[in-house]
Structure 1
Amino acid sequence: MSEKKNDSWLSSALRGAVVLCGIAVLVSIAARLLLEVWWIVAVALAVGFGLWLLVRFIRRNDL
């Protein structure tokens, strides 16, 4: 009886460890994707800002 209870405890602990590892992997992947997305967003904002400054400069100087 106690052996069955012990196995149940062990399997639930193992299941919990697998779930925690899965969550950690998903969080790691999400963080990595978020960093890549932020890099793309930062580049897009920099390019957009540069184009906006260029257009403003051209309009101001009537080129």
Structure 2
Amino acid sequence: MPVRTAAPPATDVVGLALEVLAAQGLNRTTAHAALVAMARERGLSLTRCAELVVAAVDGQVG
């Protein structure tokens, strides 16, 4: 039986974050631009910013 990791692969995290932003009414292109802008503003990598967005939705932040 394969072992599951605690966090999904980075590409899945970015995809999940884009889905979260899309649920707020953004199209995929706009959601990606918003995620890139959030990462730049905070000095984070795109992947790390996406992880934080997903964690916030999962209730794991704060």
Range class of TM-score, shorter chain: under 0.3
TM-score for both structures, normalised by structure 1: 0.27
Higher relative contact order (CA 8 A, sep 6+): 2
TM-score for both structures, normalised by structure 2: 0.28
